[in-house]
Amino acid sequence: MAKTESKKVKAKPVLAGQPLAILQILQNLPDAVLAITTEKQICYANEQAEKMFGKLNESYQDIQDLFPPKSGFKTNADWQARFEHFKSNHQTESFDTQMIGVSENLFDVRISQTPILNEKNELLGVSIVIKDLSQTIETEQRISRRNAQMFALIDVAEATTSVFEVRNLLEKVLDAVLRVTSLDSGCVHVLNREDESLEIIVQENFDEDFTKAMSRFELGEGVIGQTAVLAETIIVNNTTNDRRIARPLAAETFGALAAVPLIGREGNVRGVLTLFHQTPREFTAHEVSMLTGIGKQVGVALERAELLSEVTNARQEWEQTFDSMTDGVSIHAPSGKIRRANDSLAKMFGKNADELVGIRCCELYHGSKKPRPNCTIMRTVTERRAQKVELTDQNLGRVLRVITDPIISSSGRIVGVVCTTRDVTDEKLFERRLIQQERISAIGEITAGIAHEVGTPLNIISANVEFLTRTNQDLKANEEVQAIQEQTKNIAQLVHQLLDFSRDRSPEFAPVNINNLITKTLGLLNHQLQKSNVQVKLNLAQYLPTVDGDVSQIQQVLFNLITNARQAMEGIDSDRILEIETDTAFSPTERFDRPHIVIKIRDNGVGIAEEDLPNVFNPFFTANKEGGTGLGLAISYRIIQRHLGLLILENNYDKGVLAKIKLPLAQN
């Protein structure tokens, strides 16, 4: 190092008199050792100190000359203060600083200062042990860089294993890679397999123009396109006049780039990771190897993310289809437990789809936790083929058609059952109506012929009896003749009903006030009701809209229903009560989808046997024990049908029968 112009002072060696062994130890220490006097002169330097600072022993150089100008050791006052401190404090003190080496270079050191005392504890000088920290600091910096790289690579690994959304995955990977390499900017292109182009998905630190220039590359175009075709990392340490740079990027300013292919499991390129540096830069073999490994790791993760996206989309599409089906669909374990159910099935039973999961089919359809011996699910599993059954829901009065299909695995095992449920109540009702309509039509043709054939001889019999009673007054009081007259009248009435039943007379529609019509009908039947001791209770809606209908035909229906109710109550000993109620239903129901009025006629008579209820509207069927034609309800049902309405007959919960008539509101 350069010699200072300071005056050389021959200082008394402070280590004089020390044993030779101690001096030999100091001479061979790996750290530099200096001894200085209280005048700051170096009076001893071991071999390591001379390697670091030159031949110090020859000049007895001032210790201040070994420190840079900005150091705190360049003033006499500082050293004087240190010597004064060591006179009272005999402990070793350490600190880090910089010193000037033999080649005039600065290097980092750690200094340990220890006072040198004589036998009277008087300060003779200070020993300084100097440890070169250059390699230590470089090692620490290298470790720090490697730690930063390691943490960044951990971020890459975490992103590739835990993030499954493509954009989010690539953003995390790009950020981590830029931190690993200390590069300025970067982007990721993903291969569009339909048109075989590379489209940018994420970028970092790009301006708008650069992003636009990087938006899309064809396979084989420029460094990025070539990387995708060759499936290998391409490094450009200096982009100046490099012909591989694609034309859109030629006008942009950057000095170096690295293009890394993102390779999947089968070696297929999924995209390209491109990193940029503003100035030319050398990429080390370690960096290239690391980037190539990251490219493979990210390629597999991208492949997995794309596959997961496809599976997720397919599942969402399946779930949307599953839940949008109008039929109730459920997937069962072979034991019958529901694994999954769609919204339609849940709505059928007034529950949420999640509430159905885990319960058995028998609990859902039959309200029983124990399966029935003829369980459809068990038959499906046992027979390994589809089953079909119709179930009657007594609580809601509906019919459910259930079809089951086995789910058979590739190994041939039954792993589940698909169950499709449809509410066929309306369908069954329509079938019954159609059958009844066909039956009525057929009977109508027969009755028309019978009425015609019976009507002619009946008229002859009536006329002859009338003639005989006129010519012979004694015959009028004859019981046999009276019986003949009475029975011919009954037969004539039956023929009249048969003709009414067989005629296909369309209603003459006009606005009808149902409340007034009920009052008039009760007036006509008042004598019979009083004779049978029937109490009538009316609960008629105050503001009941009119309906479109044929007054005479609707009155015939009311007449038949009230008469049936009166006859049903003649066999009871308690109070006979007939209740008639009207109301409006503006909201459509499952069984009647139009705004309508409701007429309820309720009696407390003997009721109808449950097995007879399905047949009450059949022609010539009667539940009256005293007999009857069996045409009254059939004609009434037919009239209400022609009025686009609905006639329902059911037993009350306690006793008697409830008849409901639903007629649509008048349409202006």
For CATH 1.10.287, the residue range(s) in the chain are 428-502
Is residue 8 very low, low, confident or very high in pLDDT (cuts 50, 70, 90)? very low
Residue in this structure with the two tokens 């790791």, named with its chain if needed: 297
Query: Which range among 105-109, 319-323, 507-511, 518-522 shows the weakest confidence by mean pLDDT?
Result: 319-323
pLDDT score recorded for residue 99? 86
Rounded percentage of the chain residues whose pLDDT exceeds 70:
78
**Average pLDDT, integer, range 604-621:** 74
What pLDDT score does 3 carry?
A: 42
Question: What CATH class is the domain 428-502?
Answer: mainly alpha
Residue 76 pLDDT exceeds 80: no
What is residue 261's three-state secondary structure?
strand
The answer to whether 453 and 359 have CB atoms below 8 angstroms apart is no
pLDDT mean across residues, the chain: 79
pLDDT of 9 over the 90 cut:
no
Residue 4: pLDDT band with limits 50, 70, 90: very low
The predicted pLDDT at position 538 comes to: 92
Proportion of the chain above pLDDT 90, given as a percent = 9
Instruction: Say yes or no to pLDDT of 482 above 80.
Output: no
Q: Is the pLDDT of residue 450 over 80?
A: no
CATH 3.30.565.10 domain position(s) in the chain = 510-664
Any idea what DSSP says for residue 60?
Answer: T
pLDDT (mean) for 577-603? 83
Q: What is the band of 7 on the pLDDT scale with cuts at 50, 70, 90? A: very low
Q: Which fold has domain 330-420?
A: Beta-Lactamase (3.30.450)
CATH architecture of 140-311: 2-Layer Sandwich (3.30)
**381, pLDDT greater than 80:** yes
Give pLDDT, residue 6. 39
Among 10-19, 359-368, 491-500, name the most confident range: 359-368
pLDDT exceeds 50 at position 563: yes
Please check the confidence at residue 234 and state whether its pLDDT lies above 70.
yes
Q: How confident is the model at residue 623 (pLDDT cuts 50, 70, 90)?
A: low
Q: Which of 16-20, 82-86, 462-466, 519-523 bottoms out in mean pLDDT, i.e. has the lowest?
A: 16-20
Q: Is residue 344 within a helix (H) or strand (E), and if so which, with residue range?
A: helix 343-348
Q: Is the pLDDT of residue 10 over 50?
A: no
Query: Whats the size of the chain, residue-wise?
Result: 668
pLDDT of residue 581: 93
Any idea which of 224-228, 379-383, 472-476, 648-652 has the lowest mean pLDDT?
A: 472-476
Most confident of 48-57, 249-258, 592-601: 592-601
Kindly tell me if the per-residue pLDDT of 388 is higher than 70.
Answer: yes
Candidates 363, 370, 426; CA nearest to 400 is 426
Name the residue with higher pLDDT: 166 or 262. Answer: 262
- Architecture per CATH, domain 20-132, reads as 2-Layer Sandwich (3.30)
Of 10-19, 38-47, 430-439, give the range with the top mean pLDDT.
Answer: 38-47
Q: What CATH number matches the domain at 510-664, 3.30.70.20, 3.80.30.20, 3.40.50.1820, 3.30.565.10?
A: 3.30.565.10
Q: Is 369 within 8 Å of 362 (Cβ atoms)?
A: yes
CATH 3.30.450.40 boundaries in the chain? 140-311
- pLDDT for the residue 580: 93
pLDDT for 16 equals 57
Residue 62 is given by DSSP the state B
Q: Which of 642, 664, 510, 549 has the alpha carbon at shortest distance from 596?
A: 664
Every domain range in the chain assigned CATH 3.30.450.20: 20-132, 330-420
CA separation for the pair 647, 356 (Å, rounded): 36
Q: What angle, 0 to 180 degrees and rounded to 10, lies between the N-to-C axes of helices 479-502 and 425-471?
A: 140
* pLDDT at residue 233, rounded to an integer: 92
Contact indicator for 176, 159 with CB cutoff of 8 Å: yes
pLDDT band of residue 1 (cuts 50, 70, 90) is very low
Lowest mean pLDDT among 26-40, 526-540, 570-584: 26-40
